[in-house]
């Protein structure tokens, strides 16, 4: 039996809503949730001021903006994220080794200079929405699994703390990278929740048992009649 508070730290609630009012009201409805994901939709709507609002409620921010640009730009954006004290952020491993290395250096340097904690850097490998035919279209060939492993390896060598991947890739990445490398996975659906547009899903327990460190869960919690009840049901299942 694992403490529920320990499990709560591993669930990242995705705030996929359009405005601050709804985002903050969801956070208030979930007093035991500790980490909230802010992606490009909410960030574009509300800007960085929202990060502070979330933190003032005592919550950690997972900033999922999937940075992908020239190394100098990404390093600068990472520095800003450190100033905003985000706990975790994402970047595309396909930005290449120099971009990843500069991002890792920038995070460490900024944290040191500003005296704030260094965020955890997680790499996105291949977007799970891309099917084989689409991967060929962009010149990546049809070997999605091979590409995921290649990029996960590159990300580890260049100082990323882990990856965001689909539940189907957890096992492969664990095998290749051992237990220190962090894995955050979306596509999580408890048996009692609707799949929505997620195609290849796993239950929270399956994903944790395969070795995921963090579960990114949105609608099963945020669209539930009672988000609080849904959150606790997931904690109970995992405990």
Report the catalytic residues.
66
Check residue 218 for interaction with ligand C5P (CB under 6 A).
yes
Give the CB-side neighbour count of residue 125, counting CA atoms within 13 A. 26
- The least distance separating ligand C5P from the CB of residue 203, rounded to whole angstroms, comes to 12
Residue 71 or 187: the one with the smaller Cβ distance to ligand C5P is 187
In the complex, least distance from residue 116 CB atom to ligand C5P, rounded to whole angstroms? 25
Q: What residues have CB less than 8 Å from 27, skipping those under 6 apart?
A: 15, 33, 36, 54, 57, 59
Residues 23 and 42 sit within 8 Å (Cβ to Cβ): yes
Among 68, 101, 219, 232, binds ligand C5P (CB under 6 A): 219
Window 17-46: contact mask with ligand C5P (x via CB under 6 A): --------------------x-x-------
Q: Which stretch binds ligand C5P (CB under 6 A): 78-86, 114-122, 139-147, 213-221?
A: 213-221
Question: Does residue 16 interact with ligand C5P by CB under 6 A?
Answer: yes
Instruction: Quote the radius of gyration of the chain (alpha carbons, Å).
Output: 17
Here's the x/- map for ligand C5P, 115-154, by CB under 6 A: it reads as ------------xx--------------------------
Least gap, CB of 15 to ligand C5P (angstroms): 8
In the bound state with ligand C5P, the residue whose beta carbon lies nearer, of 78 and 126, is 126
3-class DSSP state for residue 232? helix
CB nearer to ligand C5P: pick between 39 and 119: 39
Task: Give the angle subtended at the CA of 110 by the CAs of 57 and 35, to the nearest 5°.
Answer: 25
For the bound state, the minimum distance from the C-beta of residue 95 to ligand C5P, rounded and expressed in Å, comes to 16
**167: contact with ligand C5P by CB under 6 A:** no
Backbone angles phi, psi at 120, to 5 degrees: -80, 130
Kindly tell me which of 108 and 224 has the beta carbon lying closer to ligand C5P: 224
Distances (CA, A) of 218 to 60, 109, 187, 195, 212: 16, 33, 9, 11, 16
Quote the least distance from Cβ 112 to ligand C5P, whole Å. Answer: 30
DSSP class of residue 193 equals S
| Closest CB to ligand C5P: residue number | 218
Long-range contacts made by residues 15-22, C-beta under 8 angstroms, separation at least 24? 15/39, 15/42, 15/222, 16/41, 16/42, 16/218, 16/219, 16/222, 17/41, 17/42, 17/222, 18/42, 18/45, 19/45, 19/46, 20/45, 20/46, 20/50, 20/53
Binding site for ligand C5P (CB under 6 A): 14, 16, 37, 39, 127-128, 166, 186-187, 196, 198, 216-220
């Amino acid at each position: 039996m694992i403490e529920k508070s320990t499990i709560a730290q591993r669930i990242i609630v995705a705030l996929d809503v359009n405005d601050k009012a709804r985002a903050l009201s969801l956070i208030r409805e979930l007093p035991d949730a500790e980490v909230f994901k802010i992606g490009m939709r909410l960030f574009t709507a509300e800007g960085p001021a929202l990060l502070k609002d979330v933190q003032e409620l005592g919550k950690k921010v997972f900033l999922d903006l999937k940075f992908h640009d020239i190394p100098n730009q990404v390093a600068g954006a990472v520095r800003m994220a450190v100033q905003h004290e985000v706990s975790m952020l994402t970047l595309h491993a396909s930005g290449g080794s120099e971009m990843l290395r500069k991002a890792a250096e920038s995070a460490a340097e900024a944290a040191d200079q500003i005296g704030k904690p260094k965020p955890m850097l997680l790499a996105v490998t291949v977007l799970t929405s891309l099917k084989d035919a689409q991967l060929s279209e962009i010149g990546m060939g049809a070997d999605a699994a091979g590409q995921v492993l290649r990029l996960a390896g590159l990300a580890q060598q260049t100082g990323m703390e882990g990856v965001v991947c689909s539940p189907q890739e957890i096992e492969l990445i664990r095998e290749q990278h051992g237990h220190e490398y962090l894995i955050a996975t979306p596509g999580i659906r408890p048996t009692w929740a609707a799949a929505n547009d997620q195609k290849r899903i796993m239950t929270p327990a399956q994903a944790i048992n395969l070795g995921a460190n963090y579960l990114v869960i949105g609608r099963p919690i945020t669209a539930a009649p009672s988000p609080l009840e849904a959150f606790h049901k997931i904690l109970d299942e995992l405990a």
